[in-house]
Structure 1
Amino acid sequence: MPPHARGPVRPAALVLDALDTLFPLGPLEWRFREAGIPRVLMTRWCDHLLRDAFALSLLGGERTFEDVARGSLRDITGNQIAPGAEDAIIDGLARLEPRREAASALEAAHARGVRAAVLGHGDGEHVRLLLERSGLPLEPLAGGGGPAAWKPAREPYLAAARELGVPPERLGLVTAHGWDAAGGRRAGLVTGWSAHLEGRFPSVFPSPDVEGRDLAQTVERLLDLPEPA
């Protein structure tokens, strides 16, 4: 029977995506300006980073998240970025602040006895640093067991379910990225998409199990799903 053939059920644990879901990337803009890089190239950098991450999810390339982030910076600047400026932008990735409703969303999950963790890209080291500085009560996960595993391949989602000790159909994914929700759905997870980044769910992917205007509403709607029979 395919996943959720009888309808999704309330997850026993949650994994939340990190960048632009929990932690907005907007504050990095001033670091780009300080480096003399036009603001428009920040969006190009994000797209380039995701492009290469998606390729690595197919190729199984042994690269860390930092490798890909630095490589993308060099590519979009024609290898003209100064080493100090590159370091400043990468350092900024570990100093991002969480969205203002993140704490209340997590409190709601914990009040219902639902464990919550973060599933980022690649090796997950940048997520560990973000969580240490943010103080959010979340666990970093390895992202599939090593730098060769990248979302939206199935293995990172399935590895998260194994690490949290729940079957995939009882693991809820909270993300602001349509492609991430599609990857989680293909792996059999219960998917929750927050509209705060994209505004409208991408039409090329199957709809997520729940949608919300922000993290708090998305988590609330996952928690309001029916208990398994």
Structure 2
Amino acid sequence: MPPHAHAPVRPAALVLDALDTLFPLGPLEWRFREAGIPRVLMTRWCDHLLRDAFALSLLGGERTFEDVARGSLRDITGHQIAPAAEDVIIDGLGRLDPRPEAATALSAAHERGVRTAVLGHGDDGRLRPLLERSGLALEPLAGVGGTSAWKPAREPYLAAARELEVPPERLGLVTAHGWDAAGGRRAGLVTGWTAHLEGRFPSVFPRPDVEGRDLLQTVERLLDLPEPA
């Protein structure tokens, strides 16, 4: 059962997930090669990172995103990665480019008077310079990093709603991760899932409020939801 007691309505604000939703991780592959790490290990690194992030969310661990990212790199390489090679990969996280339709999707929201912000994973100190470099018109959510919980726990989504001064049921989440959409749904947000990463929505989670083939279509479908009565 969804947390909404009524049909979802058009959001008054949007939060967009960062990594692999707005910013594809694929370009990091060449950094893995440069660091002497087989590029096939990049997927393992991402999975390992998420595993530890989810565990920290349950445990309330006080670690930064960079801590977890570096720890995952060391684990998948048997702690054989050189510090300089580790730095090459972590530095790449701050130099990712946004998806080609990202700016158009954000413009569509702004034209409808809908604020847009980015909701990262944990206390991601690299998110602000990444946004500045991209030129995307997104607000980083400064207050969200104060919670010890990580997505998909309820607290980060609810903290985002508080910071944007909208009730959870008027906050839209745009994400390429099924687990993230499920977390937002449980927190009472209006959820939009873009298929560009996973292709099919994971069958173990309740379906999001809207689905789209990419960021633009997902945002447009959220904006096309009915106005609140």
Shared fold (TM-score, shorter chain, > 0.5): yes
**CA RMSD in angstroms, aligned pairs only:** 1.3
Alignment of 1:114-129 (within 5 A): 114-129=114-129
Q: Which amino acid aligns with 1:22?
A: L
Q: Which amino acid aligns with 2:96?
A: L
Between the aligned residues of both structures, percent identity stands at 89
Any gaps of 5 or more consecutive residues in structure 1? none
Q: Which amino acid aligns with 1:170?
A: R
Q: Deviations 1:143-200 (Å, cap 9, x if unpaired)?
A: 7342622000000000000000000000000000000000000000000000000000
In the alignment, which residue of structure 2 is the partner of 1:38?
Answer: 38
User: Does the aligned pair in 1 maintain the 2:66–2:124 contact within 8 Å?
Assistant: no
User: Does the aligned pair in 1 maintain the 2:191–2:210 contact within 8 Å?
Assistant: yes
Residue 90 of structure 2 corresponds to residue 82 of structure 1: no
TM-score by length of 2: 0.98
Alignment of 1:184-195 (within 5 A): 184-195=184-195
Q: Which moved more, 1:101-110 or 1:137-146?
A: 137-146
In the alignment, which residue of structure 2 is the partner of 1:174?
Answer: 174
Aligned equivalents of 2:145, 2:37: Cα separation in 1: 34
Aligned equivalents of 1:160, 1:30: Cα separation in 2: 34
User: Does the aligned pair in 1 maintain the 2:124–2:145 contact within 8 Å?
Assistant: no
Secondary structure of the 2:120 match is: coil
Aligned equivalents of 1:149, 1:77: Cα separation in 2: 27
Secondary structure of the 2:53 match is: helix
In the alignment, which residue of structure 2 is the partner of 1:94?
Answer: 94
Alignment of 1:1-229 (within 5 A): 3-142=3-142, 144-146=144-146, 148-229=148-229
Change (3 A) 1:147 1:72: farther
Secondary structure of the 1:191 match is: strand
Aligned equivalents of 2:138, 2:10: Cα separation in 1: 19
The Cα shift of 1:127 comes to 1.4
Aligned equivalents of 1:76, 1:82: Cα separation in 2: 13
User: Does the aligned pair in 2 maintain the 1:191–1:208 contact within 8 Å?
Assistant: yes
Aligned equivalents of 1:8, 1:37: Cα separation in 2: 45
User: Does the aligned pair in 1 maintain the 2:174–2:219 contact within 8 Å?
Assistant: yes
The Cα shift of 1:140 comes to 1.0
Aligned equivalents of 2:148, 2:3: Cα separation in 1: 26
User: Does the aligned pair in 1 maintain the 2:2–2:185 contact within 8 Å?
Assistant: no
The Cα shift of 1:4 comes to 2.4
Aligned equivalents of 1:184, 1:143: Cα separation in 2: 17
Secondary structure of the 1:125 match is: coil
The Cα shift of 1:39 comes to 1.1
TM-score by length of 1: 0.98
Change (3 A) 1:60 1:143: farther
Q: Deviations 1:51-95 (Å, cap 9, x if unpaired)?
A: 000001100100000000000000000000011010010000000
Aligned equivalents of 1:67, 1:145: Cα separation in 2: 14
User: Does the aligned pair in 2 maintain the 1:171–1:189 contact within 8 Å?
Assistant: yes
Aligned equivalents of 1:147, 1:39: Cα separation in 2: 33
User: Does the aligned pair in 1 maintain the 2:178–2:205 contact within 8 Å?
Assistant: yes
Q: Which moved more, 1:136-145 or 1:196-205?
A: 136-145
